[in-house]
Amino acid sequence: MTIIKNNGYQLPEGSVYQPATTTNGAISGSQTSGKGKVQDRERHSVMSSNETNSDRKSDQKLRPQHLKEYIGQSHLKMMLTMSISAALERKEPIDHVLLYGPPGLGKTTLAQVIASEMGAKIHMTSGPSLERPRDIVGLVHQLEAGDVLFIDEIHRLNKVAEELLYPAIEDFMIDLTSGKGHATRTMRLPLPKFTLIGATTKAGSISKALRDRFGFSCRLDFYNEEELAKIVERTGGILGLTIEQTAVVQIASRSRGTPRIANRLVRLVRDFAQYKGKKEIDREIAVEALQSYQVDQSGLDSTDRKLLHVVINNYDGGPVGLDTIAATIGEDSETIEDVYEPFLIQAGFLQRTPRGRIATALAYQHLGKNPPANQLSLDFGRSENQSNSFEDNDEKP
Ligand SMILES: Nc1ncnc2c1ncn2[C@@H]1O[C@H](COP(=O)(O)OP(=O)(O)O)[C@@H](O)[C@H]1O
Ligand SMILES: [Mg+2]
């Protein structure tokens, strides 16, 4: 598979790189500012599902290349396997695919897997890099029949770019405009048939018009412990490590359902074991390493616990608005919503309701507190547990 990077997109090491147009639009993750936060930031980077530089360095080596190696997401894999083999038989590119779900669950990986299963070249870019019409025009002009165009953070495409893309993905046409005012001319040029793969952590921020143009909308779910254990074993194998089964289980259970975090914890444990002069990674060394990063049994880090603590102690368990939580713990709302909340909701510690966030009985227990008597009724039937559904748009207490 050939990978082509476009417009400042941060491509993992070891990939083929051909610069196209030169907009500066590197992907930005969440950022905290202020010197006092440096330590916090370092710790965040361990458990945050957002991509860090060291992830980027090792990711490409660890990324599965084929559907067979891609662990979990079985429903999605089955659907893709069928569509890919049908498309290959027809000698056509597969329909456009939208991948959505929290960071670190394997969207970029899956886009590359799809391209390699199709035997296609993949052009990688991101929403924020496609600022001007000419960025899009330049990009689609490089496409050849059957290529895959991957747009990460597709929810960050601006309106102009989005509208230029519509005919490109619907009819494989691009509208070129020249001149100004009365002299404006539009010329429609045909494009080769290609596959657009869009990825986003914010499905709710995508316009319906764009969403409707994808043949497949695929939600990636958090991984269960069995799947994470397989990922830990696979990563250990690639890195040439010997990890005892009990240590594998420890790492998997603390990975917040996220392969990126599982891989990061494997690297941390490896470094720790090396530092301690251990050749094999057993349960003891894994637990010691993980505890030093303040990751608890359920995969919660200090920020998760602080968040639950605030909802429970400062706001009587909720409901409390996202912005209020953000202001109290000194994080930005977006980071909480994209990075921390999805897992807390999925793991049953937090609920999203139209009136705000509520800590569940499980959260009380996790912090060693007794849930209030009315907590059980609060837990019942009021959650909107799917944090990445398209309906997210409408709800922001
Ligand atoms: N299904 C999977 N099986 C094995 N490893 C995976 C899987 N999904 C993701 N990974 C690993 O997790 C890392 C992060 O995945 P990535 O595709 O970058 O996530 P996203 O684009 O959703 O943020 C990759 O390096 C890859 O090695
Ligand atoms: Mg990605």
Question: 273-283 pLDDT, tens per residue?
Answer: 999 999 999 99
Take atom 15 of ligand 1 and give the residue whose Cα is closest: 106
Predicted confidence (pLDDT) at residue 395 exceeds the cutoff of 50:
no
74, 73, 55: which is closest to 63 by C-alpha?
55
Higher-confidence residue: 173 or 29?
Answer: 173
Contact (Cβ atoms closer than 8 angstroms) between residue 212 and residue 169:
no
Cβ(260) to ligand 1 under 6 A? yes
Q: What is the DSSP letter of 297?
A: T
DSSP 3-state assignment of 200?
A: strand
Q: What is the DSSP letter of 12?
A: P
- How would you classify the pairing of strands 185-190 and 173-178? antiparallel
105, 388, 334, 52: which is closest to 223 by C-alpha?
105
Give the number of whichever ligand sits closest to the CA of residue 124: 2
With bands split at pLDDT 50, 70 and 90, how would you rate the model's confidence at 388? Answer: very low
Q: Which residues are catalytic?
A: 107-108, 152, 201, 260
Predicted confidence (pLDDT) at residue 359 exceeds the cutoff of 50:
yes
With bands split at pLDDT 50, 70 and 90, how would you rate the model's confidence at 392? Answer: very low
Residue holding tokens 């290959």? 88
Cβ(259) to ligand 1 under 6 A? yes
| Nearest atom of ligand 1 to the alpha carbon of 99 | 22
Could you tell me the pTM of the whole model? 0.82
> Would you give the distance in Å from CA 355 to the centre of its chain?
27
Cβ(108) to ligand 1 under 6 A? yes
**pLDDT at res. 146:** 96
Residue 162: what residue type?
Answer: E
Residue 255: what residue type?
Answer: S
Computed from CA positions of residues 187, 92, 99, 254, in that sequence, does the dihedral angle turn out positive or negative? negative
Residue 176: what residue type?
Answer: L
| Nearest atom of ligand 1 to the alpha carbon of 63 | 27
With bands split at pLDDT 50, 70 and 90, how would you rate the model's confidence at 213? Answer: very high
Predicted confidence (pLDDT) at residue 333 exceeds the cutoff of 60:
yes
**Token representation of residue 368:** 């060693």
d(CA 368, CA 386): 26
- Give the containing element (helix H, strand E) for 122: strand 122-126
Cβ(107) to ligand 1 under 6 A? yes
With bands split at pLDDT 50, 70 and 90, how would you rate the model's confidence at 32? Answer: very low
Checking phi first, is residue 265 left (phi over 0); if not, alpha (psi -120 to 50) or beta?
A: alpha
* Mean pLDDT (whole number) for 374-382: 52
Q: Residue 208, class by beta-carbon neighbours within 10 Å (0-12 exposed, 13-18 middle, 19+ buried)?
A: exposed
**pLDDT at res. 390:** 47
**Token representation of residue 269:** 């444990």
